[in-house]
Each structure stands twice: as C-alpha cells, then as structure tokens.
C-alpha cells in the first residue's frame, strides 16, 4: 500500500516502542516522517530507517518552545503537514501511596499538556497558508481508561483527558477537514514496558484477552495508519481499542 506517498507525518515519541513502529509503518507506505523525541539519538535512528526524506527533531512535547521549533522545522523543510500522531508519553508504575502532586503534574504536563501543545501547533499548520488540505490527528491513549489499571492513577487520568480532548478537538477541526481520533492500546511489549514492572503483567492481561499472545508495537501501528489515511475521512471523534479484546466497550 502507498497510502502516505507525498505526505508528511509528525510522530512524537518515535525513538522507540509503539512510536517507532508507527513511524516505520507510515514510512513503509511512503510518508516522510518527522521523528520527534526527547531522545535525539533514538529519533535519528528511526528517521534514517524510515527514508523518504524523513528527519529527526529533538523535542520535549511539554515545552512550548520545543514544540514551536519542531513546527518551524517542518515549515522550513517539507513545508506541509498531513498527519500528527501524538504518541509521546510517560508510562509510570507508581503505587497509589506514592502518588503525590509532583508526580501528578509531571504526568499531566507530558501526557496531556503535550498533546494539547502539539495539537495546537499542528492544527494551525494544517489550516495555514497554502494548506487547507485537511489533515489527520491520531492520539495514542490507553485501554487503562476503561480498565482502571492499578499503579498508574495519574497516567489513567491523563489518558482520560486525551480521550475527552479527542472528542472536543474533532468538533473544532471537523469544519477544516481535519479528523481527530484516539487509539487505545492494551499492554504492549515496548522498550519502556519491558524495562518496568509492567512487564510482569503480561500473564494476567493475556488471561483477559479474547485473542491470546503478547501485544507488540507492530500490532498497534496498523490501526493508527488506517485512521491517518485518506479513506478514514468519515471517522472522527472516535476511540479505537486495540488490545486483543482485553476490554470490550
């Protein structure tokens, strides 16, 4: 398939895990990927594997100045923006007794403020000078918003915010031909998860899944690519759960 030929896609958190798999999938279908991440080396490795003129930008999505610079790079380089995938997030494992306001604010600033800052700048660019071609925004949420998964209270709250924001932003941007949808992965074997206590939850999660096995980043990317494609133009404000049927809603 060639669904992203001549298209430009920003993927945040593209240095590893689900973000890297999404970047690879969009690039395999022709996209020029802007791999944005705090991890500059990881983002550079993703971009060079992508080809199609893809490039990396070191960016903290919670920092308004970084987000502005990222969009200036896109404007000065490819000069157009078709797709934004808001994937960057902190995936914590923190017992409830250790959740304090500092932790709460840190999670919110990356997982929710970051999605806002990116959506603000990218939607402005999608509507800007010489654009008006519409666009696609896909927000990576989590099935923890349905399951209320333990040891992640601030994270679950931040992702609940992403789900609600997805619905509101779909309303705001629909008149401009920009769709906004969310994907809610279940537990997935990313580098981040495999380096944390979440890795010990696979057996329990698999018991709840309709389809058995261990979720991989490559299992999430096709749903994102579909929602980012031209043919998904009639789908907006929706949440697509991609978790082997762990939760049904």
Helix axes 17-28, 217-228, angle to 10 degrees: 50
Our finding on whether 24 is near ligand NAD (CB under 6 A) is no
Q: Is residue 135 a contact point for ligand 4PL (CB under 6 A)? A: no
Nearest approach, Cβ of 75 to ligand 4PL (angstroms)? 33
* Residue number with CB closer to ligand NAD (37 or 82): 37
Q: Which is nearer to ligand NAD, 135 or 192 (CB)?
A: 192
Instruction: Tell me if residue 155 is catalytic.
Output: yes
Residue nearer to ligand NAD on the CB measure, 38 or 154: 38
Selecting among 155, 205, 225, 236, the annotated active-site residue is: 155
- The Cα 147–Cα 134 span in angstroms is 34
Build a one-symbol-per-residue string for 171-190: x at contacts with ligand 4PL by CB under 6 A, - elsewhere. Answer: ---------------xx---
Roughly how many angstroms between the first and final C-alpha of the chain, as a whole number? 31
Q: Which partner from the list ligand 4PL, ligand NAD, none does 181 bind, CB cut-off 5 to 8 Å by kind? A: none
Q: Which residues bind ligand NAD (CB under 6 A)?
A: 12-13, 15-19, 37-39, 42, 59-62, 87-91, 110, 114, 140, 142, 185, 187-188, 190-193
Catalytic positions are: 155
Q: Which residues bind ligand 4PL (CB under 6 A)?
A: 91, 142-144, 147, 149, 186-187, 193, 198, 201, 205
């Amino acid at each position: 398939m060639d669904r992203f030929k001549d298209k430009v896609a920003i993927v945040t958190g593209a240095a590893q895990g689900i973000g890297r798999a999404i970047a690879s999938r969009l690039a395999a279908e022709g996209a020029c990927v802007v791999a944005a991440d705090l991890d500059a080396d990881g983002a550079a490795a993703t971009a060079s594997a992508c080809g199609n003129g893809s490039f990396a930008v070191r960016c903290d999505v919670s920092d308004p100045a970084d987000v502005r610079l990222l969009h200036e790079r896109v404007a000065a380089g490819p000069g157009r923006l078709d797709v934004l995938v808001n994937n960057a997030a902190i995936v914590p494992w923190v017992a409830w007794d250790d959740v304090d306001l500092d932790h709460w604010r840190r999670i919110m600033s990356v997982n929710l403020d970051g999605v806002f800052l990116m959506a603000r700048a990218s939607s402005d660019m999608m509507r800007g000078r010489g654009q008006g071609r519409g666009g696609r925004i896909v927000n990576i949420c989590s099935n923890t918003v349905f399951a209320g998964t333990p040891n992640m209270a601030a994270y679950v709250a931040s992702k609940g915010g992403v789900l609600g924001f997805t619905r509101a932003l779909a309303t705001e941007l629909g008149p401009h031909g920009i769709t906004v949808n969310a994907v809610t992965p279940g537990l997935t074997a990313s580098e981040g998860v495999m380096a944390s206590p979440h890795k010990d939850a696979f057996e329990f999660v698999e018991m709840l899944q309709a389809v058995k096995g261990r979720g991989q980043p490559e299992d999430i990317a096709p749903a994102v690519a579909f929602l980012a494609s031209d043919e998904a133009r009639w789908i907006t404000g929706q949440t697509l759960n991609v978790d082997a049927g762990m939760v049904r809603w």
